[in-house]
Amino acid sequence: MVFEDDELLVVDKPPGWNTHAPDPYAGEGIHEWLRHREPRWADLSILHRLDKETSGLIVFGKTPLANRSLTRQFEERRVEKVYRLRTDRPIRASEWTADWSLVRAGERQVARPRAAGMEPAETVFRHLSESAGGIDWEAIPKTGRTHQIRAHAAEGGMPILGDRLYGGGEARRLHLVSHRLAFEHPRTGRPVAWTVEPDWSADPRVLLRGAVIAPGETDAFRRLHGSADRGAEGLHLDAWGPFHLLYSDPDAGRGGPEEPGRVAGLAVPDLYHRPLNRRVGCAGTDESGPRRVWGREAPPAFTVRENGVVYEIRFDQGYSVGLFLDQRDNRRRLLTGHVGAGFPPLSLGISAPEVLNCFAYTCAFSVCAALGGARVTSLDLSRKYLDWGRRNFALNALDPAAHDFVFGDTFDWLRRWARRGRRFDAVLLDPPTFSRSKERGDFRAERDYGSLAGLAAGVLRPGGVLFASTNAARLEPGAFLAQVRSGLAAAGRRIVSERYIPQPPDFPVSRDEPAYLKTVWLRLD
């Protein structure tokens, strides 16, 4: 965050994050992530855009007044926009103007001489300095076409470092930054301006996490997410407080860390490692526990912090260490009671809502719901994990005795509670992708999620909230939502509010590393 008042929000966008989501089921753009994070940002409007790989200043409007004023100023070209870029290709000019129209050709924009009927595109370039790292230029776009600066710079013989699309030299990131924004404040009419200085040496993977992770609140998050993070192909690295756990993909030809103390260029002092099994999805691994590679040995149990909540973590439990990091933002929604823009508050005036957490595992969702003021029932088929959940409650000064911990099969208990008339204000579903039971047979998320949603609806009060989630990689978002909706319809329940949420920004999405986590919040009649 750079600036905020009643009218405006100005942020410093990290590279590698879209301004807005390219489709409803892709990873959230910065606009969606902000809109749904805080109630005061629910009406944020995009007033201009930056390419995914471009970083720097971007302004959002918070009110109709700001939207009208800034839209007019952009249209009348009264907004001062200054970019900084770096190239490794010298040209003889110290200042020059690109005045070529742009025509789309696939993913690229191709510069063409101005002609009748073609929209103008004009950029002024001014030489700034030279160093061993490259040649720095200032770019002032007089118009605002897609990829305008990138296409103009390449056509002028100075493609930007890191710009693979336009023939730029090799670099870890696109060396293009929105450096300065200046305009008239929409309410006061006074001039306002902001600047950010480019740091070409900064690792873009670190910049992305630094934009969304508050160090004082959270020390458990994903630092590398495979092919979505340049240079980390086949590697998934999680920070767990003082320790790190690396999952490597044998199919990608990367068996683990390549040099002591570093993983894919990131400093990692204390490292554990475990092979990643793609057959079980991005979060699945084999049953063996992590193996220490270097640094300190982790104690049998230690704690991490996420959104200010404390959790016990163990590296000696095989499949998982106690917390699924990709659900961090959903746990925060239980903490704050705010699901997103346009979705009614979770409590809706209920002083102590009753929440059922199915497949509770170590009860991380339960802890957040309890801290948010709910009375929680945690249901799981493992007494060991329920005991772990009780310890998580105690770590956060919550009395486990004030809540229920139920051992048993979720499907059985949902039917039993439905027959008894037991009802909850919210039901949380995050089942394993696959499970097997002698009594009911196999459960496969890609086939059976609808029936599970229907069972959950049977114990949900009118006006209650259902949270449904799966990391089944082969289950497409549309098919997942269709299953959930079908199951609810079969149970006679109507959806009155819906909010679909993909995985958080530290699990970035790319073509080679597509989204796998699918979650939806639903309020039912």
Phi, psi of 73 (to 5 degrees): -65, -40
Which active-site residues does the annotation give?
Answer: 51
Report residue 411 CA to chain centroid gap. Answer: 31
The three-class DSSP label of residue 348 is coil
Nearest-5° Cα angle at 199, 193 to 205: 110
Element (H, E) at 178: strand 176-184
Checking 188-193 for CB contacts under 8 A at 24+ apart, the result is 193/80
d(C-alpha 320, C-alpha 301), whole Å: 13
The string of pLDDT tens digits covering residues 474-497 is 899 999 999 999 999 999 999 999
435: confidence class by pLDDT, cuts 50, 70, 90: confident
Query: What number is the average pLDDT over the span 13-25?
Result: 94
Report residue 497 CA to chain centroid gap. Answer: 22
3-195 to CATH, choices 3.50.50.60, 3.90.79.10, 3.20.20.80, 3.30.2350.10: 3.30.2350.10
Whether residue 234 contacts residue 253, with contact meaning beta carbons closer than 8 Å, is answered with yes
Whether residue 427 contacts residue 456, with contact meaning beta carbons closer than 8 Å, is answered with yes
Whether residue 364 contacts residue 392, with contact meaning beta carbons closer than 8 Å, is answered with yes
d(C-alpha 311, C-alpha 135), whole Å: 48
As a whole number of angstroms, the longest Cα–Cα distance in the chain is: 82
Is residue 389 scored above 90 in pLDDT? yes
Can you name the residues that pair with 378 across neighbouring β-strands? Answer: 357, 405
Q: Where are the beta strands (DSSP E) in 18-122?
A: 45-46, 55-61, 80-87, 95-98, 100-105, 108-113
Checking 20-26 for CB contacts under 8 A at 24+ apart, the result is 20/46, 20/49, 24/477, 24/500, 25/477, 25/478, 25/500, 25/502, 25/515, 25/518, 26/502, 26/509, 26/515
d(C-alpha 299, C-alpha 277), whole Å: 25
User: Residues of the chain with pLDDT > 70: what percent?
Assistant: 95
Among 417, 295, 281, 277, which residue's Cα sits nearest to residue 354?
A: 417
Report residue 41 CA to chain centroid gap. Answer: 17
CA quadruple 379, 382, 388, 391: dihedral positive or negative? Answer: positive
User: Residues of the chain with pLDDT > 90: what percent?
Assistant: 86
Percent helix, percent strand, percent coil in the chain, to nearest 5: 25, 30, 45
Q: In whole numbers, what is the pLDDT of the chain averaged over residues? A: 93
Among 295, 245, 291, which residue's Cα sits nearest to residue 269?
A: 295
Whether residue 386 contacts residue 398, with contact meaning beta carbons closer than 8 Å, is answered with no
pLDDT of residue 320: 85
The string of pLDDT tens digits covering residues 236-246 is 999 999 999 99
Is residue 464 scored above 50 in pLDDT? yes
pLDDT of residue 317: 83
The string of pLDDT tens digits covering residues 95-150 is 999 999 999 999 999 999 988 788 999 999 999 999 999 999 999 999 999 999 99
Query: What number is the average pLDDT over the span 198-213?
Result: 96
Report residue 264 CA to chain centroid gap. Answer: 21
Look-up of token digits 């993977």? 205
d(C-alpha 341, C-alpha 499), whole Å: 9
Among 238, 243, 241, which residue's Cα sits nearest to residue 217?
A: 241
CATH number of 213-304: 3.30.750.80
d(C-alpha 60, C-alpha 352), whole Å: 36
Homologous superfamily assigned to 324-524: Vaccinia Virus protein VP39 (3.40.50.150)
Tokens read off for 496: 């009155």
Query: What number is the average pLDDT over the span 11-39?
Result: 95
Query: What number is the average pLDDT over the span 168-193?
Result: 97
Q: Is the pTM of this model over 0.85?
A: yes
250: confidence class by pLDDT, cuts 50, 70, 90: low
d(C-alpha 170, C-alpha 163), whole Å: 8
pLDDT of residue 318: 74
pLDDT of residue 258: 64
Tokens read off for 108: 């690229």
Residues in the chain: 525
d(C-alpha 255, C-alpha 247), whole Å: 9
Residue 278 neighbours by CB under 8 Å, 6+ apart:
249, 251
Question: How far is residue 505 from each of residues 125, 205, 288, 456, 517, measured CA to CA in Å?
Answer: 33, 11, 28, 29, 12
Domain positions in the chain are: 3-195, 213-304, 324-524
249: confidence class by pLDDT, cuts 50, 70, 90: confident
Query: What number is the average pLDDT over the span 422-435?
Result: 94
Can you name the residues that pair with 424 across neighbouring β-strands? Answer: 460
438: confidence class by pLDDT, cuts 50, 70, 90: low
Q: Where are the beta strands (DSSP E) in 76-173?
A: 80-87, 95-98, 100-105, 108-113, 123-131, 134-141
Question: How far is residue 148 from each of residues 117, 188, 354, 374, measured CA to CA in Å?
Answer: 18, 32, 53, 51
Among 374, 310, 282, which residue's Cα sits nearest to residue 337?
A: 374
